[in-house]
Structure 1
Amino acid sequence: MKTKISLLIAMLSLLPVPAFAHPHIFIDAKFEVVSAPDGSISELRNVWSFDEVFTSSVLMDYGKSGDQALSASELKAVGKTVRDSLAQYGYYTNVTSNGKAVPMAKPDAVEANYKDGSLTLTFSLKPEQKTFLKGTTIFGIYDKTLYTAVDFATDNDLTTSGQALGRCKRKVIRPNPKEVMAENQAALTSMFFSDPKGTDYSLLVATRLEVQC
């Protein structure tokens, strides 16, 4: 039986881009870049807390007891579904090193928890190939389809750790959507949003962490 999460992922490839003008799933996120002793990226730690509506849909599809709770085995099933389904979307993780995209490997596991009415997913990603923190590295957690909104409540929700990162400068970039629209008015046409390959609008408005080493 297809689950709610599987159906939502499937919808991403079936619906036209304009349908994503307004997000349907909302995530409060925390993100941490961890460096290795040799100055490379060790891992990217993610904690995602989902909105009540999406959490309720997961409860209905995975909770067999009907007691508004999820057992350990049910939570494990949720984590496995997300791990498998979001692989094609890179787990909404977009990293560039000096302008070049850095692909991420599939996480070992996605840990799901349910507490106080919210579904939370915790997982770590590692680059497919060793990537050193040299020059400018930009980290963005956003859904290119605009179906899911990923929000960082404060700049402190995007952090770095590891001795190698101590020599680097970091800043959080929070674009103003109105300014983005004004500056790119000529490019943001209906044809732009209807491109079946997706658009760069999500990148223009996404909160990002920039690290310079």
Structure 2
Amino acid sequence: MKALRAFCAVSWLAPAWVAAASLPAFAHPHIFIDAGATLVFDEEGRLGAVRIVWAYDSLFSLVVVEERGLDPDFDGVLEPGEAEQLSGFDMNWIEGFAGDSYLLAGGAEVPLTRPLEYDAAYEEGRVVSTHLRALETRVAVGAEPVILQIYDPTYYTSYEIDLPVRLENAPEGCVAEVYVPDPEAASEQLVAALQEFAGSDDPLFEDDFPAVGDLFAHEVRVTCGP
């Protein structure tokens, strides 16, 4: 059912893709991830770290597991010790990779460290990984939202924040809310970008294609107050 949900997640794009059938196939997602987050506050009540959860779609999970020779009986259960082979499989980030997670405070991006801790498991046929990243500068959260966005700028991977979002050690009065984009408006902007590049004779035009993933970005907005 999770795989079906992942397929349906882009079904609203169908009318737009019919109109843009001749446009390049690279600008639609190939991997689908359900995301969750825990925002961790320090002893002084400042936001100090974020713990991200990625639950991969069943098809991609199957590829990951099969490549490692795990779950040979396809029962969706790993033998003791096998889960350790999954830990960190998606943490080998190239230099400059933002981790598909962006934290904004006061309209400015707050840099995050590379993963400090990470783990992975295989649950009901899906690979689920977690990682912890610290804020390079801790943030005091007030009435103006601090925003955590989770998205792939290239839109190769589609993220939906539909796993639990939690606040850890947060001061009293802090709340977190999840906001999702308008899918129709996002798809219209995507098609407009695709049409601009349609028919290009430049073999490298994909390198110049604008980042569109933020159009589909789910985000967590955190506020604190009396």
Structure 1 unaligned regions, length at least 5? 1-17
More strand by share: 2
User: Take 2:122 and 2:40, find their aligned partners in 1: how far apart are those partners?
Assistant: 26
Q: How much has 1:53 moved relative to structure 2?
A: 0.8
**Aligned partner letter, 1:179:** A
User: Which of 156, 160, 173 does residue 167 from structure 1 map onto?
Assistant: 173
User: Take 2:136 and 2:85, find their aligned partners in 1: how far apart are those partners?
Assistant: 25
Structure 2 unaligned regions, length at least 5? 1-23, 199-204
Query: What is the CA deviation profile of residues 15-54 of structure 1, one whole-angstrom value per residue up to 9, with x for unaligned ones?
Result: xxx5442211111222121212323223212222211111
Q: How does 1:97-108 map to 2 (within 5 A)?
A: 97-108=105-116
Matched, 1:158 2:169: no
Aligned-pair identity in percent equals: 26
Distance 1:64 1:41, change over 3 A: same
User: Does the 8 Å CA contact 2:112/2:134 hold for their aligned counterparts?
Assistant: yes
Larger Rg: 2
Residue of structure 2 equivalent to 1:37: 43
Distance 1:192 1:119, change over 3 A: same
User: Take 1:195 and 1:173, find their aligned partners in 2: how far apart are those partners?
Assistant: 30
Q: How much has 1:125 moved relative to structure 2?
A: 1.5
Query: What is the CA deviation profile of residues 135-183 of structure 1, one whole-angstrom value per residue up to 9, with x for unaligned ones?
Result: 33110111111111112337xx33323332x33454322111213455x
Aligned residues: 192
For the residue of structure 2 that corresponds to 1:91, the secondary structure is: coil
User: Take 1:19 and 1:186, find their aligned partners in 2: how far apart are those partners?
Assistant: 12
Residue of structure 1 equivalent to 2:216: 205
User: Take 2:44 and 2:208, find their aligned partners in 1: how far apart are those partners?
Assistant: 37
User: Take 2:27 and 2:213, find their aligned partners in 1: how far apart are those partners?
Assistant: 10
Return the TM-score normalized by structure 2.
Answer: 0.70
User: Take 1:77 and 1:19, find their aligned partners in 2: how far apart are those partners?
Assistant: 33
User: Which of 173, 179, 188 does residue 193 from structure 2 map onto?
Assistant: 188
For the residue of structure 1 that corresponds to 2:87, the secondary structure is: helix
Q: How much has 1:105 moved relative to structure 2?
A: 0.9
Matched, 1:79 2:87: yes
User: Take 1:106 and 1:185, find their aligned partners in 2: how far apart are those partners?
Assistant: 30
Return the TM-score normalized by structure 1.
Answer: 0.74
**Aligned partner letter, 1:145:** T
Distance 1:60 1:35, change over 3 A: same
User: Does the 8 Å CA contact 1:50/1:119 hold for their aligned counterparts?
Assistant: yes
Between stretches 110-119 and 170-179, larger displacement belongs to 170-179
More helix by share: 1
Residue of structure 1 equivalent to 2:27: 21
Q: How much has 1:61 moved relative to structure 2?
A: 0.7
